[in-house]
Amino acid sequence: MPTLYILCGIPGAGKSHFAETYFPQIQCVSRDNIRFRMLNPNDDYFAHERQVFKEYVMRITETLQDGMDVFADATHISPISRKKLITAIDKYITQYHIIFITFDVPLQECRWRNDHRGGLAHVPDDAINRMYTNFMPPTNTEDPRCTAVWTIREAIHE
């Protein structure tokens, strides 16, 4: 049975880097990559959010239906956001395992990493601060298919 790895953490925590560096053999579906392809130069960041979410869910779903593991790469900072994703996927497939991966990285480190991003990938500091304050780590009771909750603490830059 395939596994859905749900990455959970604020911008700059290292979610995409973790998936791409340590598990390149597993498909990684990035909500930001989908969003950035849809946005026009003068669009608001959330201009196409319904389309972005729909494509995000469909790519994850198709990968699971093909029997392959997949990373769901977005912030997923609350039980509500994680449940929204799982519920949307469950409309198409329900036979999969879930592993939540929490990124427990200090706020200052996330802000430092974010400061080194350009263009649309750069998130305003007030948004990062708000997400950090509101972050609710996942638990293994959020869904009966959850087989594990991993916590990643990446080394701070020097």
Output DSSP code: residue 11: T
pLDDT classification of 156: cutoffs 50, 70, 90: low
- pLDDT value of residue 90: 98
Q: Chain centroid to CA 13: how far? A: 11
Q: What is the percentage of the chain residues whose pLDDT exceeds 70?
A: 93
pLDDT in tens, 28-86: 999 999 998 987 767 666 667 899 999 999 999 999 999 999 999 999 999 999 999 99
User: pLDDT tens digit string along 115-128?
Assistant: 998 887 788 899 99
Rounded to whole angstroms, the Cα distance separating 46 from 120 reads: 11
Start-to-end CA span in the chain (Å) = 41
pLDDT of residue 119: 80
Say what the pLDDT of residue 46 is.
62
- In the sheet with 3-8, reading across from the earlier edge strand, the strands are 27-30, 70-73, 3-8, 97-103, 146-152
Residue 157 has pLDDT above 60, yes or no: no
How far is Cα 102 from Cα 82, in angstroms, rounded to an integer?
Answer: 12
Cα distances from 68 to residues 40, 58, 78, 157, in angstroms, run: 32, 14, 26, 33
What pTM, to 2 d.p., does this model score?
A: 0.93
pLDDT, tens only, 76-106: 999 999 999 999 999 999 999 999 999 999 9
84 CB-contact burial (10 Å; exposed 0-12 / middle 13-18 / buried 19+): middle
Domains belonging to the chain, first-starting first, are 3-152 (3.40.50.300)
User: What pLDDT does residue 154 have?
Assistant: 73
